[in-house]
Amino acid sequence: MGFPTKHSTELISSSSLSNPPRVTNPELVSELMFNTMVIYGPTGSRKTTEIGNFAKYIYTKTGKITRLVTMDGGGYAPVQDLVGAGIIEPWRLVEEERPLPMLVHVSKGVWPKNLKNGKRLDNTLIPAAKSLHVGAYAVEGWFSIANAAMRYLVSKGQKINEDVVSKFEEESDFGSVSFGAPSRGHYGFAQNFLLDLLRNFSGLGLERILYTSLEGKGEDKFTKALTYGPATAGGAITSAIPQYVGDCLHFEDFSVNKGKDKDGQPLVDLQTRAWFVSHPDPQTRVMWPAKARLLPSKVEEFKKIMGNGYFNLNEKSLRDYMEVQDELLASGVEESINWRAKIDAGR
């Protein structure tokens, strides 16, 4: 699958489907990055909770709702209150019979008219042009989408340059079931399918697009060194994919010693750091990628407010992060306007 842009210029290409996509036009990548962010971390690291804080900020700023597209099986219990209040509107695509075409449609702004508990009731759809009440999308998560793509291809026995590995069928009382393993071509397809979705979501022109993913570990093609990053399909793209979003935050769990209970047993409180700068893994020293979309002149000020590289999710949230980010951007624009006026006055 190719990765065309609205200018009909190839943005992503690969010498073979088993290789990670590479940037051929950095200027067009900037369009893809606009107002997009990914948060990634281990299971249970409060990613879904932070989707709630993300939606609250979007509603505070724009008065518009956030659509939650979820391919994860864990559900959205941490934000159920916001779903009930109509601030988050979820669609559980993980339960769709044909998730791949549905993902393409939703990435272009199409949405079911009738949803109940996150499930589509019928085929009545709302086109993108009728979704003016939507301010943002939260897409959960990259790893689940990539794996759904590969499972779908394997179940169909779909050939992508190479046949499905060890394909076979088993009969049961309810009909035949296909089994098999994805080939290298399927991994390449899943990677580029995910990048196509990123392009489509970015083209919606909304306030923000938020993605989530699990942690992934891969290997550099040339040096064979370990690489870490958001999990997708295979390890080849793990460290490369953060370049396609504006902000990349890594959620890292850590424990805080809380002393001992009355029986002398140690008490430990599990908390989470949200890193916005790249940092080494505590055990392996391999770098976890992270970045914040900031004006260069505002980096130090941002760190003074949010923390020197990370913030504790027990103390601050994604809502605080975006609020400070937007305020510093606005102040930077104001400073540039004043600078221009000063220069113009002196001509």
- Does any domain span residue 7? no
pLDDT at site 217: 83
Total number of residues shown for the chain: 347
- Does any domain span residue 3? no
- Does any domain span residue 164? yes
- Does any domain span residue 5? no
Tens digit of pLDDT for each residue in 138-158? Answer: 999 898 998 888 777 776 666
Range(s) of the domain holding residue 248: 12-345
- Does any domain span residue 44? yes
**In contact, 31 and 202? CB cutoff 8 Å:** yes
- What pTM value is reported for the model? 0.83
The number of distinct structural domains making up the chain is 1
Mean pLDDT of 274-283: 95
- Does any domain span residue 6? no
Mean pLDDT of 214-224: 78
**In contact, 306 and 324? CB cutoff 8 Å:** yes
Assigned token pair, 79 = 């934000």
- Does any domain span residue 300? yes
Beta-carbon contacts of 175 under 8 Å, excluding residues fewer than 6 positions away, are none
Q: What is the average pLDDT score of the chain?
A: 83
Instruction: Give 5's pLDDT tier (boundaries 50, 70, 90).
Output: very low
- Does any domain span residue 257? yes
Write out the DSSP string of 210-267: EEEE-EEEEE-TTT--EEEEE-BSBSTTTTTGGGGSSEEEEEEEEEEEEEE-TTS-EE
Tens digit of pLDDT for each residue in 15-65? Answer: 333 333 343 444 444 455 568 999 999 988 999 999 999 999 999 999 999
**In contact, 71 and 147? CB cutoff 8 Å:** no
Alpha carbon separation from 250 to 36, 51, 274, 347 (Å, rounded): 15, 14, 6, 48
Query: What is the rounded (10 degree) CA torsion for 277, 281, 287, 292?
Result: -10
**In contact, 142 and 201? CB cutoff 8 Å:** no
Q: Residue 99 and residue 116: Cα distance in Å, rounded?
A: 18
Q: Look at residue 10 and give its three-state secondary structure.
A: strand
